Every structure is written in structure tokens, then in C-alpha cells.
Structure 1
Amino acid sequence: MRLELEENGSTCPKCGAPQQNGISCIRCGIVFHKISGTAARSTNSPVQSPGYRSEHNLPFATLIRLSQLILLCSLFLLVLSYHYQDVLPPADFYADVELSDPVQSKTSLAPFKVRSSDIIYTITPIQNYRLQGVVVSYHNSDAWWDIYHHRSWQDFINIKDICVIWGENVSSGIYLNMAFKNSTWTCWAYWPDTETARRFSMHQLSNNHLLVLDENIREKLDQVEIGDLIRLSGVLASYSHSNGQFYRGTSTSRTDTGNGACETILLTEFDIVKSANPGWQRLNTVAWWLCAVSLILIPVLIVRAPVRWSD
């Protein structure tokens, strides 16, 4: 219905106040031609169903639902790939490589000093060392729950510990019946029964504190995952630093046990010879990114969607 002022004795169509000739109401101030135009558009517009509608062509509702679906799928893939990327492969995965005992020999290197994170370390090489084996567990020294390496010990060159097995421990496949775990400075091996314990040799397992001064080696270490076949070279060494009474030695035997039985190795070479689960690792990375993007995109789409409520 079109709202118009009566020619004689006109009244305001909003408040009903008597009006003289003019373009706006003398009481409420509305502009007569604007309210008249609004009423006309309302009369000529098609009836809208209750709810909200977009005034743009971009299908925001569809994009929001799609982002939610991607988030759910990425969360599922994240959990699945997180589990399978750490599954140890069967023994025949390593059959084409000889995993013999580590080799160590005399070294001619003299003690030397190095600065890292404004701390001066004294490193004393003891013997040359080479190791090739399978990573069954590891620990990153910058883990949020590690209160020792950085905060207590101020040790910034031991960036990673890796627990490695070789020899018959690998070729027999007995490791598949076991579980391995690294804590701050120890590798733990768990077996379900005495028969497994009898077949597994603790003399073919070592927990290795890795000292890294080379950035390229550091980048390779960051890529190590459980089940990877690795090869490393360096020197068994003891080290200390100038801040406090910190000192760490090294084992030079594979048959010792208890405190001090770990090898402390200053790395000069490090390679991942064979990656165990590259497909699951890539899927895990993709799932992380999809999850992160979806979590950002969903609220952005909800906020930016040009919608309004209609009666």
C-alpha cells in the first residue's frame, strides 16, 4: 500500500499529527517521500521466508559447511597418521642393510672450546665412533616438559637423544614385541614376557646424547622419526661449560648399564638412510595444515558472511 498525504487536512502517516504543506512531519520529523518510497518497495517485494539471507552471490553457508567437513576429516586423519607414523616396520624392511656393532677407534682430536647461546663449552674427544641402526625412540631436548637441559643444566648443544638398536635385535624382529620410550636422559625398553627378554640383547641397544654444532646436521636430526634407519659418525666425548658445575661424560662400552651407560657423541656426519613411514608422516603434516586452516577459516567466514535477518 502506498502511503500518501491527504491533500486537505493532511496527517502524518507515522504519528498521525495534523500537517501543513511541507516535506517533513512537524512532530516526529520523518521525511514523507522516504517513508512513502519504503512502503512502496515493501509492497512490491516478494515475500521472504523467515531466517537469514545473503545479499552477495558468494555461497558463504556452503563454504562454512565445507570448512567444517574438512576440519572433521583432518582431525580424523591427524589421529590416524599420528599413530601409524610411529609404527616400527617389520624386520625385512632393513634386510638389505648390514646392521653390525658400532665401530670406535682412537682419536687424535684435542680438547677444544665452543660458544653456544653465550655459554662456553669445553669438549673433550675420547674416541672416534660410527653407528648404523634403527631408531626406536627419541627425545628432543627443547620439549616443553624437559626442565633439565635448558633451564637447569643450560645445555644447548645436546639437542636430541636417540635410542638405537642393531644386529640380531633387528634381524630377529623381536623388537616388534616390545615398546620403547625416551625420558629426559634415559631410554626404556619394555617386554611382555621373559622369553622376549631373553631374546632381546641390551648390548645391541644404545641411548645416544647427540651434540650438534653444525646447522645442516641439526636440520637432518629434526627430520628423524621412529623406525628410521640412520647412520652417524663423530667422536665419543665428555663436555662441560662455564656456567656452574655442569659436566657430562660418555660410555665407551656397549655392555655397561645404569647411570653413565649412554654414549655422548659429537656429530660430524648424520644421515637418514631409510625413512620408515614417509607416507604417514606426509599425511600427518597435511592433516595438521588442513586442521589449522579450517580452524581459522570457519570463524572468518561466519564473521564476514554478509547476512541479515528478514521478517
Structure 2
Amino acid sequence: MIRKFIQWLLILSLIILLTSLWRMHSLPNPSELSISLLDEPKQEAIQEAKFETISNGVTYTVQPLYHYDLVGLVVSKHDADTWWDYIHREWNDSLNIVDLCVVWGNNVKTNIYNEINFSSGQFTCNFSTSSDTAFAAFDQTAISNNHLLSDNPKLTKIMRSVQVGDQIHFRGSLAEYSHHHGFAFKRGTSITRTDTGNGACETVFVDSFEIIKSGGKPWRQLVWLSGMMLLFGIIAWFVQPIRVND
């Protein structure tokens, strides 16, 4: 009887775990979004001197260009520290912590983002849909791929914890940055939301970052709960005494 219960526990916890992993990055409905996501990013030209900072033994020169303030919904993410990212390693670029693709404005107001498929490459954000109507309705000036830079361990930890479906708010500077660690490396930034293609990403040296509201509920919690249930079931299965019938 106990062994039968454990068997059903294993099956149920596995089903919940797989379902939760699939659904934990679902995008929220518009009713769950902060009204601040309707605002356009704020940008203001500045006159600031370039400065140097060190990350992972590499000295970078950063040139701030504009103050930048963005509130948005994360629809795709790339962590530059992931094992398959070879470009950042070859570029000796450890200052770029994560790339967050976000939407705001008309795209969240109309719920069109839930009809679009988003994905991230090593330095790109891609979006597509099989619906011509949805693609035409999607506002391509209300989406951006943000290369987020930081030398602050606390900010780095928060940014790496962000998941698809989270609502975020960050402030910083649109900036160019470079280094001469083995070769001359330089990366610029977009300064407008209307450009597309190569060079259209915003490069932001982050001063403050917050997750306004986490997404993926209740699935993120169920991933942890079902994982613990599955582990308990596996342990219980193997510690059960084996009954031998004569």
C-alpha cells in the first residue's frame, strides 16, 4: 500500500514539475501589469567624463552618453555567463552581465505581446509570429534589447535573477565601452527606439535595478515544491524494504 502511494507521488510530482517548467516563463495578462509600463523610456543627454572600471581582471573604459530610465516587461533574456555563450568570452567582455529584451507602451496596452514569440541570442532579441495581423499590430518602437553593464556585485545578482515575465525598472546611462585586453574592443549603443537591426540595442551602464513584480506565478513556486516532492518520493522508494514472497 505504501509503495503504491509512493509510486503515485512520483508520477504526480513529475507531471507537476514538467508542467511548471513549461509554464513558469509564461507572460502575464495585461491586468497583472503595473500602469508604469505604459510609459516610454526616459532619455536625457548628459556631459559626463569617461571613467574606468575593472571586471574579471579586464580594465574597461566607459563613456556615458545619456541618462536612461526604463520600465518594462521582460519577454526574453540572455545571461552572458551561460556555458554556450562563446562570443562574450572571446571578446573578454565580462562587464555585460545580461541582455534583457523588454516591451512597454502600446505593446502591453493592447496585449499584443502574448501573440508574439520572443527569443534571445548571444546579443540579439528576436520576435516572430505566424499571424500577419499580430505582426502588423506589434509596435516595433516599444521593444528593446538592453545590454546591461555593471561592476556592482549586488546589482549583478539581481539582474541575473530576472526571469521572463518579470516587470522591471532600471536607471543608468546609455554608454559606449571598450578595453584593450589582448586586442582593441569597443561596443556602442543605440540612442533611439526607432532603429532596427545591427546596432539597435541599448547598452546601459546600470545605476539602479529593481524587479517591480515577479511573473510566472504560481508555476515558479510549484517547480520548487514538485521538485522536493519528487526527491522525497525517490528517496522513499529506495528505502522501502523489499518484500520477498516464499
Normalised by the size of structure 1, how large is the TM-score? 0.72
Amino acid at match of 2:98: K
The residue that corresponds to 1:271 in the other structure is 210
Alpha carbons of structure 1 residues 124 and 291: separation in structure 2 relative to 1, 3 Å: farther
How many angstroms does 1:287 deviate by? Answer: 2.6
The alpha-carbon distance between structure 1 residues 74 and 95, as it changes in their structure 2 partners (threshold 3 A), is: same
How far 1:169 sits from its partner (Å)? 0.8
Amino acid at match of 2:92: Q
Name stretches of at least 5 consecutive residues in structure 2 with no aligned partner: none
The answer to whether residue 9 in structure 2 is matched with residue 86 in structure 1 is no
Please point out which of 50, 61, 75 is paired with 1:111. 50
Query: Which structure shows the bigger proportion of residues in strand conformation?
Result: 2
Cα pair 1:141 1:161 within 8 Å, conserved: yes
Q: Which of the pair has the greater relative contact order for Cα pairs under 8 Å at 6+ separation?
A: 2
Partner of 1:129: 68
Find out whether 1:209 has 2:142 as its counterpart: no
Deviation at 1:67, TM superposition (A): 5.3
Matched with 2:59 is: 120
* Mean Cα deviation higher: 76-85 or 254-263: 76-85
Aligned residue pairs: how many? 245
Q: Could you say which residue in structure 2 is the equivalent of 1:194? A: 132
Question: Partners of 1:153 and 1:275 in 2: how far apart?
Answer: 32
Residue of structure 2 equivalent to 1:252: 191
Q: CA deviation at 1:105?
A: 0.9
Q: Does residue 128 of structure 2 align to residue 159 of structure 1? A: no
Work out whether 1:283 is the aligned partner of 2:222: yes
Q: Runs of 5+ in structure 1 lacking a partner? A: 1-60
The answer for the alignment partner of 1:177 in structure 2 is 115
Q: Give the Cα–Cα distance (whole angstroms) in 2 for the partners of residues 155 and 294 of structure 1.
A: 43
CA displacement at 1:207 relative to structure 2: 0.3
Partner residue, 1:226: 164
CA apart distance, 1:106: 2.1
Q: Report the Cα offset of residue 108 of structure 1.
A: 3.8
Equivalent residue letter for 2:214: S
> What is the Cα-based RMSD across aligned positions, in Å?
2.3
Instruction: Please tell me whether the aligned partners of residues 6 and 237 of structure 2 are also in contact (alpha carbons under 8 angstroms).
Output: no
Instruction: Report the Cα offset of residue 274 of structure 1.
Output: 1.6
Q: Is the 8 A contact 1:138 1:161 kept in 2?
A: yes
Largest Rg, 1 or 2? 1
Change (3 A) 1:89 1:105: same
1:301 matched residue in structure 2: 239
Identity between Structure 1 and Structure 2 (%): 35
* Rounded Cα–Cα distance in structure 1 between residues aligned with 2:161 and 2:173: 22
Which segment drifts farther, 208-217 or 160-169?
208-217
> Given the alignment, which residue of 73, 76, 79 partners 2:15?
76
Letter in 2 for 1:205: I
Give TM-score, length-normalised by structure 2: 0.89
C-alpha distance in 2, partners of 1:139/1:161? 5
Question: In the alignment, residue 112 of structure 1 is paired with which amino acid?
Answer: F
Residue 278 of structure 1 deviates from its aligned partner by 3.2
Supply the distance in 1 between the matched residues of 2:87 and 2:232 (Cα, whole angstroms): 34
Q: Deviations over 1:154-184 (max 9, x none)?
A: 2112111110111111101111111111111
CA distance in 2, matches of 1:222, 1:278: 19
Q: Which moved more, 1:200-209 or 1:95-104?
A: 95-104
1:109 shift after superposition: 2.9
